[in-house]
């Protein structure tokens, strides 16, 4: 495929973007999902309850290299992958259009705050997904637009199958990416030759080989991943379709991408779709279309299926903001192409749009980071501005936790240290707490962490509760749930004795943000059902 020399402007954008994300990744406390994926990295398997295995590798990279477990090291893989994703996005725009479009695409993608957070800072399955998504679209651009008027399938068709398979190993969204490419080839007569090419056979083989870990693991675990994603989430909770859910998905995604970037992305997707889709139903010959038309159609085919599917889902079910984002990744190239045309009319306006969007986004992110670390809007707090505006108990920013404080408490408090040493496993009542507990305490004492609850997620596979019988367990919860008197009462019948050990305050700005409550269960009498 050749080596493309990066130009100085693109290189600076990549460098400064990486430095900024390194800074945020170092200071941002881990979310419960990130800590949960850390468990993946020391419970290595062919696949997992929630996601395929690539997130385990991207999360474990930094901890395996350094031997340290903290919010920064678990993000090393993501930081590297996203830099590669941006580079591939730039190369794709350069191949399909021109240098100006490529530079603007790279700059717009780098400024998109939710792209940077979800794909490039937090250790989530989205990072390996978007890297191989980008690789797929880049190879497709090389394959389908070789610079000649005729098309003949080449070895790159097999690479496309491999890249789509690897995208699926990042997150199941990769299946929809593959369907989009099939749609592209079916809709344009000259590309239908792909399906009769020997390279297609190799492509399908490589794709299926990539799926082997998922199928193999699920075959051993009662197809639990597929039942969770396809049955438990949807069929068990039927709801009528509500257009308000679709409008909410639109508004939340546009706001998350920042309005001056999110709204133009929605607009360019709608405009290009309105230009191109009617062509396939007009009865006109498709043979006379320009390559520019087909290039835009390729980007729409890898973008629209996911966006439309997630909009449909949002009409009747909860839609996590990150689920729809990969669909906008390739659309960024179309916005970059449009911005290049705007630049021909008014370079100053385009520069102001990107400049002031960037300044505002970075400022807001820095203010948010300062609050997460220091509590500058917290009331009360040592670093509060003008006395603060929100109490710690009502602050949604407690979705991230300084697990170093929890770790130090078990190192410095003799009572807690003794309780940990006398325990053979740890457990909680919410899977989302289990990740934080494991990330804080597994480096101190690598004993199993599990969940005595109905929704165990991966804990249902990682720990066999029958093997815990006769052992001592350390139970932990947080302040939000300690008011439920039945919470600790329900576990007493499972242990010979079950008693309170200590409280660990998690502080910010000198004020307690939340408390971890620790209990000791002696001699588990029977497995938790």
Between 108 and 187, residue with greater pLDDT: 108
Average pLDDT for 237-246 = 80
pTM of structure: 0.94
Q: What is the pLDDT of residues 255-280, one digit of tens each?
A: 999 999 999 999 999 999 998 887 76
User: For residue 395, what pLDDT is reported?
Assistant: 82
Cα–Cα distance measured from residue 374 to residue 363, given in angstroms and rounded to the nearest whole number: 16
Q: 439 near 30, Cβ under 8 Å? A: yes
User: For residue 230, what pLDDT is reported?
Assistant: 78
User: For residue 233, what pLDDT is reported?
Assistant: 59
Please measure the distance between the N-terminal and C-terminal CA atoms of the chain and give it in whole angstroms. 55
pLDDT at residue 234 is higher than 60: no
Phi, psi at residue 190, to the nearest 5°? -70, -20
User: For residue 53, what pLDDT is reported?
Assistant: 95
Residue that has been written with the tokens 């230009």 in this structure: 275
pLDDT at residue 5 is higher than 80: no
- State how far the alpha carbon of 295 is from the alpha carbons of 180, 185, 272, 377, in Å: 14, 12, 11, 48
Q: What is the pLDDT of residues 88-100, one digit of tens each?
A: 999 999 999 999 9
Q: What is the pLDDT of residues 125-163, one digit of tens each?
A: 999 999 999 999 999 999 999 988 789 999 999 999 999
User: For residue 184, what pLDDT is reported?
Assistant: 95
pLDDT at residue 1 is higher than 90: no
Q: How confident is the model at residue 284 (pLDDT cuts 50, 70, 90)?
A: low
Q: Which of 127, 357, 363, 138 is nearest to 264 (CA)?
A: 357
pLDDT at residue 237 is higher than 70: no
Q: 113 near 151, Cβ under 8 Å? A: no
Highest mean pLDDT among 111-120, 376-385, 426-435: 111-120
Cα–Cα distance measured from residue 347 to residue 353, given in angstroms and rounded to the nearest whole number: 10
pLDDT at residue 390 is higher than 90: no
Q: CB within 8 A of 69, min separation 6: which ones?
A: 38, 63, 439, 442, 443
Average pLDDT for 166-170 = 97
| Cis previous bond, 380, omega within 30 | yes
Give the whole-number percent of the chain exceeding pLDDT 90. Answer: 76
Q: What is the pLDDT of residues 407-422, one digit of tens each?
A: 999 999 999 999 999 9
Average pLDDT for 163-183 = 97
User: For residue 271, what pLDDT is reported?
Assistant: 93
Strand partners for 515: 505
What average pLDDT does the structure give for the chain? 92
Sheet containing 473-478: give its strands across.
449-451, 425-428, 473-478, 511-524, 495-508
Q: 362 near 130, Cβ under 8 Å? A: no
Residue that has been written with the tokens 């369907």 in this structure: 179
pLDDT at residue 400 is higher than 90: no
pLDDT at residue 516 is higher than 60: yes
User: For residue 501, what pLDDT is reported?
Assistant: 94
User: For residue 55, what pLDDT is reported?
Assistant: 97
Q: What is the pLDDT of residues 301-345, one digit of tens each?
A: 999 999 999 999 998 888 888 999 999 999 999 999 999 999 999
Cα–Cα distance measured from residue 88 to residue 294, given in angstroms and rounded to the nearest whole number: 20
pLDDT at residue 4 is higher than 70: no
User: For residue 77, what pLDDT is reported?
Assistant: 97
Give the whole-number percent of the chain exceeding pLDDT 70. Answer: 95
pLDDT at residue 76 is higher than 60: yes
Q: Count of CB atoms within 10 A of residue 520's CB?
A: 21
pLDDT at residue 286 is higher than 70: no
User: For residue 218, what pLDDT is reported?
Assistant: 95
Q: How confident is the model at residue 289 (pLDDT cuts 50, 70, 90)?
A: low
Tell me the two tokens of residue 103.
């530079």
Q: How confident is the model at residue 488 (pLDDT cuts 50, 70, 90)?
A: confident
Q: Which domains, and CATH codes, for the chain?
A: 8-223+242-350 (no CATH), 351-396 (no CATH), 401-524 (3.40.190)
Q: How confident is the model at residue 479 (pLDDT cuts 50, 70, 90)?
A: confident
Cα–Cα distance measured from residue 393 to residue 396, given in angstroms and rounded to the nearest whole number: 8
pLDDT at residue 486 is higher than 90: no
Buried (b) or exposed (e) across 440-451, using 16+ Cβ within 10 A? bbbeeeebbbbb
User: For residue 226, what pLDDT is reported?
Assistant: 87
């Amino acid at each position: 495929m050749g080596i493309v020399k990066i130009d100085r402007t693109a290189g600076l954008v990549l460098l400064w973007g990486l430095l900024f994300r390194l800074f945020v990744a170092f200071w941002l406390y881990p979310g419960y999902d990130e800590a949960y994926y850390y468990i993946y990295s020391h419970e290595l398997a062919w696949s997992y309850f929630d996601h395929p295995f690539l997130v385990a590798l991207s999360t474990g990279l930094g901890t395996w290299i350094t031997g340290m477990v903290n919010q920064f090291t678990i993000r090393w893989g993501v930081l590297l992958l996203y830099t590669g994703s941006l580079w591939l996005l730039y190369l794709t725009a350069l191949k399909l259009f021109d240098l100006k479009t490529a530079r603007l695409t790279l700059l717009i993608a780098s400024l998109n705050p939710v792209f940077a957070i979800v794909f490039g800072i937090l250790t989530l399955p989205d990072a390996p997904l978007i890297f191989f998504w980008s690789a797929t679209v880049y190879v497709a651009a090389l394959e389908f637009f070789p610079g000649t008027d005729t098309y003949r399938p080449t070895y790159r068709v097999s690479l496309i199958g491999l890249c789509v398979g690897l995208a699926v190993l990042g997150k199941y969204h990769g299946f929809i990416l593959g369907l989009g490419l099939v749609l592209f080839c079916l809709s344009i007569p000259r590309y239908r030759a792909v399906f009769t090419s020997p390279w297609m056979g190799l492509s399908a083989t490589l794709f299926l080989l990539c799926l082997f870990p998922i199928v193999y693991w699920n075959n051993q675990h009662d197809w639990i991943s597929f039942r969770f994603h396809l049955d438990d989430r949807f069929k068990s909770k039927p709801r009528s379709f509500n257009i308000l859910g679709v409008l909410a998905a639109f508004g939340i995604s546009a706001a998350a991408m920042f309005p001056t970037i999110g709204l133009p992305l929605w607009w360019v997707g709608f405009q290009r779709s309105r230009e191109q889709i009617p062509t396939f139903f007009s009865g006109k010959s498709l043979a006379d279309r320009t390559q520019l038309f087909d290039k835009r159609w390729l980007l729409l085919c890898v973008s629209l299926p996911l966006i439309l599917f997630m909009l449909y889902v949002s009409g009747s079910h909860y839609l996590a903001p990150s689920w729809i984002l990969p669909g906008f990744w390739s659309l960024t190239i179309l916005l970059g192409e449009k911005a290049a045309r705007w630049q021909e009319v008014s370079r100053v306006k385009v520069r102001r749009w990107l400049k002031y969007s960037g300044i505002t986004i970075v400022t807001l992110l820095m203010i948010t980071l300062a609050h997460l670390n220091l509590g500058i809007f917290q009331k009360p707090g040592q670093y509060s501005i003008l006395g603060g505006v929100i109490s710690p108990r009502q602050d949604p920013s407690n979705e991230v936790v300084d697990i170093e404080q929890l770790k130090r408490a078990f190192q410095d408090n003799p009572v807690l240290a003794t309780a940990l040493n006398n325990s053979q496993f740890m457990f909680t009542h919410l899977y989302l707490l289990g990740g934080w507990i494991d990330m804080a305490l597994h480096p101190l004492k690598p004993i199993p962490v599990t969940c005595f609850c109905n929704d165990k997620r991966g804990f249902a596979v990682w720990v066999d509760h029958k093997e815990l019988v006769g052992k001592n367990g350390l139970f932990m919860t947080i302040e939000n749930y300690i008011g439920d008197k039945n919470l600790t009462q329900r576990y007493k019948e499972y242990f010979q004795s079950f008693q309170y050990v200590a409280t660990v305050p998690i502080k910010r700005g000198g004020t307690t943000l939340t408390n971890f409550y620790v209990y000791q269960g002696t001699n588990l009498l029977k497995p938790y059902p």
